[in-house]
Structure 1
Amino acid sequence: MFDYDEEAERYDASRGGEARAAAAASAVLGLIPEGTVTLLDAACGTGIVTRRLAEADLDVTGADAAYGMLRRATERVPGRVVLADIRQLPFPCASFDAVSAIWLLHLLDDAEKVVAEAARVLRPGGVFVATVDKAASHDVGSDIDAVMAPRPRRAARDRSDLVASYADRHALLPAGRASFRGCGQGRAPARAAADVRRGWYTLLPPGEPLTEKLASRLEQLPGQHVPRQEPEFKLRAFRKPGPVPRPGPELGSGPLPSPTSSPGPPTDA
């Protein structure tokens, strides 16, 4: 299991940093309705996207299960993050106008619980926005992808049609699609080989014959340090039936609940 507490200090730099965060936040903002005031950023990680959502004049709350990631998030959005299991949120029903879940659903065997909780905490007319098809987004048809084609793959848990079926079961209606560039995430062969050897690819344990074979083939590709095409991440939005939320004195008021004591799933990757 990937250790997000250990990875927190280098997480942003290894995943596109501020440029990727800006692209993600812009795409999310484009899918939430006018009049949105309160937003929950589920699995907020280091808060790098959360901060940009807050800068858009939203009353934003971040929630995550990893202590290390939340320590970084509290530096970016102080007083606006809580430790929480994203599958069992510590918020009452109808608490938020919008919920975002960026780079989360692909990590979970029980991703439907995230969709169910989003539906529960949304106000009528509110929107849930989530990334989908993350693994597929990284397959850009490069020579790296050709080398990695023989690797075993786990069934995608954030397939767009699967997430849509979860939304439908929890009475959320399709409300839009968007995409954004994974800035700084084009893979270079040398980095890909190192990641394979350190066990970053699911179902390729370090030291196994296939792991070593694929890493060696990656090291033979030309342009070892030249990044290939960047991925294009996809977003789906789903709306809770009811009137679109409008600003009012009751929105965004009141203190945050106390953090939960038992962390849940890992944060985004």
Structure 2
Amino acid sequence: MLDYEKEAGDYDALRGGEARAEAAARAVLGLTPGGAGRLLDVACGTGIVTRRLAAARPRLRVTGVDLTPAMVGMAAARLPGAVVRADSRRLPFPDAAFDAVTSIWLLHLLDDPEDVRTVVAECARVLRPGGVYVTTVDKAAAHDVGSDIDAVLADRPRRPAADAAATVTEHAVRHGLRPAGETVFRGTGQGRSPRSAIADLRRGWFTVLPPGGPRTEEFAARLARLPDQDRPRADPSFRVCAFRRPAAV
């Protein structure tokens, strides 16, 4: 996994910046009830999406939580007094405290399947009856846009998708939530070029290919032979799913 303490300063610029954040926030809010009073953004990172959630609905009280100190510092600068440092597996909030809970680009990072189950359980625990949990799923698959870069990388080693939609749905249902819709949004500015894909390989973004390893360098050499080294291929489209806790009878 990447060192997000080191990545924090460049994180937004390398992942689509404000354009992607706007698209993500719009997708999340489209699945969030208009009357929600409190929203928790789990693993809020730099707060670039969290800030937009708060700005779009001034009556919505938004709280961000993240584990990495550098990320928390950046998020807190964007949302003063509204960001908490905590582990998403042990959220420091009482049961049924929020009308909506979001986790955008979190579940795919968790190596241990038990951690995925635990995070979904915690998000469900702090959700009020009638509230919704909104999360991204199948993130790695979104980057396969059928380009020549994807063809080169097709036979790379992969780990099972921790955020597979079926898996996340199974966990959500186990903890009392029900599917409540989904949407997609475009990852503007995240279309890979061969040169940027090589940089991603060497930065460790392909988690099963360690930087500097022989297989990593083999894929880098194959990518270096592609044409149009600096031309971005198509942007990915990210899938977002919502799950609702049934209202109390």
Give me the TM-score of the superposition, normalised by structure 1. 0.89
In structure 1, what is the Cα distance between the partners aligned to 2:18 and 2:205? 22
Question: In 2 relative to 1, CA 146–47 (structure 1 residues): closer, same or farther, beyond 3 Å?
Answer: same
The match for 1:11 is 11
The match for 2:98 is 96
The match for 1:116 is 121
Tell whether 2:152 aligns with 1:147. yes
Q: Secondary structure at the match of 1:124?
A: strand
Q: Write the mapping of 1:1-269 to structure 2, written as runs, cut at 5 A.
A: 1-55=1-55, 56-57=57-58, 58-108=60-110, 109=112, 110-242=115-247
- Deviation sequence 1:121-146 (CA, Å, 0-9, x none): 01100000000000000000100000
The match for 1:255 is none
What code does the residue aligned with 1:194 have? A
In structure 2, what is the Cα distance between the partners aligned to 1:36 and 1:237? 14
In structure 2, what is the Cα distance between the partners aligned to 1:47 and 1:217? 36
- Unaligned stretches of 5+ residues in structure 1: 245-269
Report if aligned partners of 2:5, 2:69 keep a CA contact under 8 Å in 1: yes
What code does the residue aligned with 1:171 have? G
In structure 2, what is the Cα distance between the partners aligned to 1:197 and 1:46? 23
- Deviation sequence 1:71-92 (CA, Å, 0-9, x none): 1001100000000111110000
- Deviation sequence 1:98-126 (CA, Å, 0-9, x none): 00000000111211111111111011000
Q: Which has the higher helix share?
A: 2
- Unaligned stretches of 5+ residues in structure 2: none
Q: Secondary structure at the match of 2:227?
A: coil
1:198, CA displacement in angstroms?
2.9
Q: Secondary structure at the match of 1:229?
A: coil
In structure 2, what is the Cα distance between the partners aligned to 1:91 and 1:198? 35
In structure 1, what is the Cα distance between the partners aligned to 2:124 and 2:200? 36
Runs of 4+ with >4 A deviation: none
In structure 2, what is the Cα distance between the partners aligned to 1:12 and 1:197? 19
1:200, CA displacement in angstroms?
2.0
RMSD: 1.1
Give me the TM-score of the superposition, normalised by structure 2. 0.96
1:60, CA displacement in angstroms?
0.0
Aligned length: 244
